[in-house]
Amino acid sequence: MIEIENLSGGYSRVPVVENVSLHVEAGEFFGLLGPNGSGKTTLFKLMSGGLPVMDGKVLLNGDSVLDMNQMQRARHIAVLSQETNVSFDFTVEEIVQLGRYAFQKGIFKALSPYDKKLMEEVMEITSVTKYRHTSFHMLSGGEKQRVLLAKALVQEPEVLLLDEPTNHLDIKHTFDILDVLKKWQEERSLTIFAILHDLNIAALYCDRVGLLHEGTLTNIGSVDVLRNKNKLAEIYGVETWSQPHPTLARPQLLMNPRKKEERPVSLFDNCTVEQDEKAVSVSFQQPLRTISNGVAGEGIQWIKHFANFHVDKNYDSWTPKNDVENWLDEKGFPVEQSVGMMTAVKTEHAVIKREVLNGIAFLVVVTAGTGNAVDITHRETEIHREKIGTINTLVFADAHLTDGALVNACMSAAEAKVKALHDGEVKDPLSGSLATGTSTDSLVIGVTQQGERTSYAGSGTFIGRGIGYMVYEATMEALAVYRSWKEAHS
Ligand SMILES: Nc1ncnc2c1ncn2[C@@H]1O[C@H](COP(=O)(O)OP(=O)(O)OP(=O)(O)O)[C@@H](O)[C@H]1O
């Protein structure tokens, strides 16, 4: 365990780092964060003996680090500083070998078989084996950084002090190196204290972080500290947005450039609607903030093209996403900018409604088939699925919604659909009760993000009511079209 107690120091009488106290547990990965000039490197130098301490203590398992001689320190602590200059013309292998110096015995300090094995292993995991006979001076910045990390790791330290260990590394090597460090942390209980500039990297790898601001350490805690938008604005002077990582319970930060993106002036002026026997589609010149469960383009995205494709009633594919992506491609819609869904209902029968309600422009497209109508509240022992029967709803509006409001908008659209199915007396064929939807319904909400930002889009708001009204009207009409087509073809 490292204990820093009331540590102060700097380059003159005026301390740069003042009264810093911190405990880093054994086997912990601690990230020291802070803007340029906040004193991170100064604190690092004070901890590693690179600068004389004015006041305070640095203890490793209770022993004063500052009282250890260089050899004693090297047996416990390895340091990777930003300094990559090496005075002599050493090869990579010779540099790495220096890391074992404190452990070599005898007058001639020969490498033991263990030293050699360890060096091979570490050079391999830091991907420097291929440069082993190359002069260190001949390497690129990132290669040098990996060699110096290899030198630090062969010390088999209890504690690794790292000053910006990935600043010269490309994205692959950054993750490779941090994965190696994480593995050593977990398998060997290595304690890591790292200065990091990339807050997203820190959020992914650190167990705890601390923010250094004008020489004072603040906000020590889990990486959720980085979700504190106001604190980051105060310390770094930038606006950040915290987003959840898609697969890890850790935040990731997005930055807002000061220049605003251009947005469409009006929903209707910027969209093109196409309808034929293959698809009904809506395209916008500028992307819309979108939430959807489309076969392609699902989730929350920025999307320009929305297509609902017709499929045969016997369509049965193992690769529906691939199929939809191919159809988007055939239409000239880039897959990354599109939401694609499918229906066995004729797309010429899609109901398209445009209206301005309470000053908000709406465009709604609905295709409705009810062969798979289901009462979701009815307890069933089997999930039935016929061929034709999906209600696909596309809602576009001139509104500026938060992610929570997008969820609200989905609820508003779903409530309106249920009401339409009830008023249209659509029944679940298995339970005989009124249906609440079909088993494969798709929904997309797309908003221009113009105007005042709102966190609500439910029935207590004009946007929510507008969605409800438009979806209800379009669904009722689409159900009527579907019924008359069925009657004509039965
Ligand atoms: N050798 C030095 N002599 C005098 N002042 C120094 C020296 N090195 C750094 N400083 C000053 O100490 C303050 C903190 O610098 P330090 O290098 O610790 O910041 P940092 O947080 O590591 O910054 P960066 O993110 O830019 O690396 C700065 O104001 C800097 O000008």
Q: What is the pLDDT of residues 210-240, one digit of tens each?
A: 999 999 999 899 999 999 999 999 999 999 9
Centre of ligand 1 to C-alpha 69, Å, is 26
Q: What is the pLDDT of residue 27?
A: 95
Query: Are 480 and 358 found together in one domain?
Result: yes
Q: What is the pLDDT of residue 378?
A: 85
% of the chain residues with pLDDT over 90: 72
Q: What is the pLDDT of residue 109?
A: 65
Nearest CA to ligand 1 atom 30: 37
Asked whether residue 228 is assigned to any structural domain, the reply reads yes
Query: Are 24 and 159 found together in one domain?
Result: yes
- Binned at pLDDT 50, 70 and 90, residue 106 comes out as low
CATH of the domain at 97: 3.40.50.300
Centre of ligand 1 to C-alpha 21, Å, is 19
Nearest CA to ligand 1 atom 27: 36
What number does the ligand 1 atom closest to the CA of 197 have?
25
Query: Are 282 and 214 found together in one domain?
Result: no
% of the chain residues with pLDDT over 70: 95
Centre of ligand 1 to C-alpha 8, Å, is 14
Please work out whether the CB of residue 40 comes within 6 Å of at least one atom of ligand 1: yes
Query: Are 294 and 413 found together in one domain?
Result: yes
Query: Are 422 and 362 found together in one domain?
Result: yes
Q: What is the pLDDT of residues 253-290, one digit of tens each?
A: 998 877 766 665 678 888 999 999 999 999 999 999 99
Q: What is the pLDDT of residues 48-85, one digit of tens each?
A: 888 999 999 999 999 998 888 888 888 899 998 877 67
Out of 255, 281, 302, pick the residue that ends a domain: 255
Q: What is the pLDDT of residue 162?
A: 94
Domains: count for the chain: 2
Asked whether residue 260 is assigned to any structural domain, the reply reads no
Least reliable range by pLDDT among 13-22, 83-92, 246-255, 298-307: 83-92
Q: What is the pLDDT of residue 169?
A: 85
Please work out whether the CB of residue 39 comes within 6 Å of at least one atom of ligand 1: yes
What number does the ligand 1 atom closest to the CA of 82 have?
27
Asked whether residue 73 is assigned to any structural domain, the reply reads yes
CATH of the domain at 280: 3.60.70
Centre of ligand 1 to C-alpha 19, Å, is 17
- Binned at pLDDT 50, 70 and 90, residue 359 comes out as very high
Q: What is the pLDDT of residues 364-401, one digit of tens each?
A: 999 999 888 999 998 766 666 655 579 999 999 999 99
What number does the ligand 1 atom closest to the CA of 45 have?
18
Query: Are 65 and 159 found together in one domain?
Result: yes
Phi, psi of 189, deg, nearest 5: 55, 35
Question: Which pair of structure tokens corresponds to residue 400?
Answer: 């500026």
Asked whether residue 293 is assigned to any structural domain, the reply reads yes
Query: Are 198 and 339 found together in one domain?
Result: no
Q: What is the pLDDT of residues 397-435, one digit of tens each?
A: 999 999 999 999 999 999 999 999 999 999 998 889 999
Query: Are 303 and 234 found together in one domain?
Result: no
Out of 255, 289, 322, pick the residue that ends a domain: 255
3-state SS of the chain is CEEEEEEEECCCCCCCEEEEEEEECCCCEEEEECCCCCCHHHHHHHHHCCCCCCEEEEEECCEEHHHCCHHHHHHHEEEECCCCCCCCCCEHHHHHHHCCHHHCCCCCCCCCHHHHHHHHHHHHHCCCHHHCCCEHHHCCHHHHHHHHHHHHHHCCCCEEEEECCCCCCCHHHHHHHHHHHHHHHHHHCCEEEEECCCHHHHHHHCCEEEEEECCEEEEEECHHHHHCHHHHHHHHCCCEEEEECCCCCCEEEEECCCCCCCCCCCCCCCEEEEECCCEEEEEEEEEEEEEECCCECCEEEEEEEEEEEECCCCCCCCCHHHHHHHHHHHCCCCHHHEEEEEECCCHHHCEEEEEEECCEEEEEEEEECCCCEECCCCCCCCCCCCCCCCEEEEEEECCEECHHHHHHHHHHHHHHHHHHHHHCCCECCCCCCECCEECCCEEEEEECCCCCEECCCCCCCHHHHHHHHHHHHHHHHHHHHHHHHHHHHC
Query: Are 436 and 302 found together in one domain?
Result: yes
Does pLDDT of 101 surpass 80?
no
Please work out whether the CB of residue 34 comes within 6 Å of at least one atom of ligand 1: yes
Asked whether residue 266 is assigned to any structural domain, the reply reads no
Please work out whether the CB of residue 38 comes within 6 Å of at least one atom of ligand 1: yes
Q: What is the pLDDT of residue 118?
A: 92
Q: What is the pLDDT of residue 316?
A: 82
Asked whether residue 118 is assigned to any structural domain, the reply reads yes
Q: What is the mean pLDDT of residues 462-474?
A: 98
Centre of ligand 1 to C-alpha 60, Å, is 25
Does pLDDT of 174 surpass 60?
yes
Q: What is the pLDDT of residues 283-329, one digit of tens each?
A: 999 999 999 999 999 999 999 999 999 999 888 888 999 999 999 99
Out of 255, 290, 322, pick the residue that ends a domain: 255
Q: What is the pLDDT of residue 489?
A: 83
Q: What is the pLDDT of residue 384?
A: 60
Q: What is the pLDDT of residue 152?
A: 93
Please work out whether the CB of residue 42 comes within 6 Å of at least one atom of ligand 1: yes
Centre of ligand 1 to C-alpha 34, Å, is 12
Give the domain extent around 317. Answer: 271-489
Q: What is the mean pLDDT of residues 474-479?
A: 98
What number does the ligand 1 atom closest to the CA of 34 have?
21
Asked whether residue 261 is assigned to any structural domain, the reply reads no
Nearest CA to ligand 1 atom 11: 37
Nearest CA to ligand 1 atom 9: 42
Q: What is the pLDDT of residue 315?
A: 86
Asked whether residue 291 is assigned to any structural domain, the reply reads yes
Does pLDDT of 177 surpass 70?
yes
Nearest CA to ligand 1 atom 10: 11
Q: What is the pLDDT of residues 342-356, one digit of tens each?
A: 999 999 999 999 999
The residue with greater pLDDT, 198 or 270, is 198
What number does the ligand 1 atom closest to the CA of 38 have?
21
Please work out whether the CB of residue 16 comes within 6 Å of at least one atom of ligand 1: yes
Centre of ligand 1 to C-alpha 38, Å, is 7
Does pLDDT of 102 surpass 90?
no
Query: Are 103 and 201 found together in one domain?
Result: yes
Centre of ligand 1 to C-alpha 16, Å, is 8
